[in-house]
Amino acid sequence: MAKQYDVLFRLLLLGDSGVGKTCLLCRFTDNEFHPSHISTIGVDFKMKTLEIDGIKVRIQIWDTAGQERYQTITKQYYRRAQGIFLVYDITSERSFQHIMKWASDVDEYAPEKIRKILVGNKSDESRVSSWPTLMEWTSLRQVPSTNHNITETFTRLAEQVLAANKKDLDLLRMSGNEEINLAALEEEEGLYERAASDESKGCWC
Ligand SMILES: Nc1nc2c(ncn2[C@@H]2O[C@H](COP(=O)(O)OP(=O)(O)OP(=O)(O)O)[C@@H](O)[C@H]2O)c(=O)[nH]1
């Protein structure tokens, strides 16, 4: 049987409630958009496979609730991620200001090697947050930002995770591993199953 992927890893969507994390994910995996805001409860995930430089990359994308009351739960997922999207809404300065808080939580709870990308969502709206502030922030924190389309945004972070783990991947490949699971899913079956059973509740679009 042909193998389904060469490498699997986990990405996490973080940001205030309402910035559009669930919609970003649904547009990426199912090409669907729904106008209503139904807050995510805890966490939810979807999978997608991309091909990058001839490598089949399976990504498991975790959509976290932006609401404060779920943050104890969602923080538990940081340390299992290889890449993080810090999402804000370009029409909400407040959501951009809160990025500092999200980023410092990532620094505290996520592995050092984690790759981050800043995403300004709702680019179809006319009000845009202050670009000088954005530039200052991204250069200070060395976090790249993106104004690309959805697929490009997910692909860009996946490329960065691949590049960050290249040495380990090469070693694993040389030792004959067929499918390389950076997310080490087998250790977390309970977590995985619980989230899967909640999927219909958390993400309807
Ligand atoms: N105009 C516009 N609206 C968007 C866009 N993306 C999302 N929205 C709207 O923003 C609202 C919130 O979107 P969600 O994806 O549910 O937000 P979320 O960040 O997942 O929210 P929580 O689950 O509460 O953390 C919804 O009404 C969406 O329709 C976008 O690109 N443009």
Beta carbons within 10 angstroms of residue 68's beta carbon? 9
CA dihedral 99, 101, 104, 108 (to 10 degrees): -130
Beta carbons within 10 angstroms of residue 183's beta carbon? 20
Distance 198 CA to ligand 1 centre (A): 20
pTM of the model: 0.84
Please calculate the CA angle 125-127-131 and round it to the nearest 5 degrees: 120
Confidence of residue 180 (pLDDT cuts 50, 70, 90): confident
pLDDT digits (tens, 9 = 90+) for 16-68: 999 999 999 999 999 888 788 899 999 999 999 999 988 889 999 999 999 99
Instruction: State how far the Cα of 183 lies from the Cα of 7, in Å rounded to an integer.
Output: 9
With the most atoms of ligand 1 within 8 angstroms of its CB, the residue from 26, 37, 41 to mutate is 37
Q: Which residues, judged by CB distance below 6 Å to any ligand atom, belong to the binding site of ligand 1?
A: 15, 17-23, 35-37, 39-40, 65-67, 121-122, 124-125
ipTM above 0.90, yes or no: yes
User: What angle do helix axes 166-174 and 150-164 make, rounded to 10 degrees?
Assistant: 70
Instruction: State how far the Cα of 135 lies from the Cα of 142, in Å rounded to an integer.
Output: 10
